[in-house]
């Protein structure tokens, strides 16, 4: 992909994903190695995710010792969820799905649907507009994960739904006491987390709706996949409005390794414009 190839509408497509990051992280780690770090839930900034989960248990005619099994399940569930499952997060062009006062799910009509020009994301994750936004292909990432599938316990992906409830859906943290006894703590907890991955990984409080987030979830108890190879999925690198121009030549050099386009997000009178990234000022 060269600088002229984004005219096919890729940046506005459903396949485009946007990852905001600091300029130092992108230029020193992500782009030189074509590796995007997968984060543990314990390292996220959302207390719904980084906090220990207190579990419930239900079931008919629970076997003797069920309460002891629940006590044993707590640390196992926590270890798998927060220490063995990793996520990588992106913005999308799609408006977020939010739960409104009528308890129904609707698209948020007020959210920006342009993934590279989200001011809040540039401010919070893009180093106050001094960072970079990496543009990747969703389809290519899925293909990459498929090549390492045999080394994973499981993987999944999907758009985040934003709920007004403060708590995680109860079903996701309620264990079946009979199945827990029959299957054993380790097997049951692993299967429960996979079965309820949408509630555990793909729901957030409505306060986060402006992120329009899409996630890839990787469960890997062996820790062999701590990063994602993006050499075949990177499509463009967008510099922020305040990204120092001294970095522009390096940005172009690194982007060219992957035939990725280079752009500059420039704000004028409150509106974002996507310009060609010029590596050298004209005399």
CB 155 within 8 A of CB 216: yes
- For residue 51, the Cα-to-chain-centroid distance in whole angstroms is 18
The pLDDT of residue 2 is 52
The DSSP element (H or E) to which 21 belongs, if any, is: strand 16-21
The pLDDT of residue 166 is 78
| CA dihedral of residues 6, 8, 9, 15 (deg, nearest 10) | -80
Distances (CA, A) of 253 to 146, 228, 250, 257: 29, 21, 5, 7
Identify the residue whose tokens are 């314990």.
42
* End-to-end CA, the chain: 29
What average pLDDT values come out for the chain (283 residues) when binned by 10 residues?
63 96 97 96 92 90 86 96 96 88 73 85 96 98 95 95 87 94 95 96 91 95 92 97 97 96 95 87 45
Say what the pTM is.
0.91
Please give the structure tokens belonging to residue 77. 């569930």
The pLDDT of residue 1 is 45
Give the residues across from 273 on adjacent strands: 266
How much of the chain is in helix, strand and coil states, percent to nearest 5?
40, 30, 35
Taking the CA of residue 252 as centre, how many other CA atoms within 13 Å lie in the half-sphere pointing to its CB?
A: 13
Residues 6+ apart with CB under 8 A from 64: none
DSSP, collapsed to helix, strand or coil, labels residue 7 as: helix
Distances (CA, A) of 62 to 71, 187, 216: 15, 18, 36
CB 180 within 8 A of CB 57: yes
* CA dist., res. 11 & res. 9, Å (int): 6
Q: How many residues appear in the chain?
A: 283
The pLDDT of residue 273 is 94
């Amino acid at each position: 992909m060269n600088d002229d190839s984004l005219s096919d509408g890729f940046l506005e497509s459903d396949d485009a994903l946007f990852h905001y990051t600091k300029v130092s992280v992108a230029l020193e780690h992500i782009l030189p190695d074509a590796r995007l770090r997968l984060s543990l839930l314990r390292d996220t900034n959302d207390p719904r995710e980084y906090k220990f989960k207190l579990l419930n248990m239900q079931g008919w005619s629970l076997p003797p010792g069920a309460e002891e099994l629940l006590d044993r399940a707590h640390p196992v569930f926590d270890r798998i969820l927060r220490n063995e499952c990793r996520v990588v997060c992106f913005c999308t062009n799609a408006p977020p799905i939010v739960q409104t006062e009528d308890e129904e799910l609707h698209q948020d009509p007020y959210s920006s649907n342009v993934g590279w020009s989200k001011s809040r994301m540039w401010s919070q994750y893009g180093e106050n507009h001094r960072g970079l936004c990496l543009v990747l292909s969703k389809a290519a990432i899925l293909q990459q994960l498929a090549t390492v599938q045999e080394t994973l316990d499981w993987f999944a992906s999907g758009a985040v739904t934003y709920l007004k409830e403060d708590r995680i859906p109860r079903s996701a943290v309620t264990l079946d006491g009979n199945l827990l006894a029959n299957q054993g703590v380790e097997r049951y907890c692993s299967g429960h987390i996979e079965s309820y991955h949408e509630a555990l990984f793909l729901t957030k409080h409505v306060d986060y709706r402006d992120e329009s987030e899409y996630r890839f979830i990787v469960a890997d108890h062996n820790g062999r996949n701590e990063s994602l190879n993006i050499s075949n999925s990177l499509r463009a690198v967008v510099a922020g409005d305040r990204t120092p121009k001294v970095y522009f030549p390096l940005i172009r050099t690194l982007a060219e390794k992957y035939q990725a386009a280079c752009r500059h997000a420039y704000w004028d009178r409150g509106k974002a414009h996507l310009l060609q990234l010029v590596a050298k000022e004209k005399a």
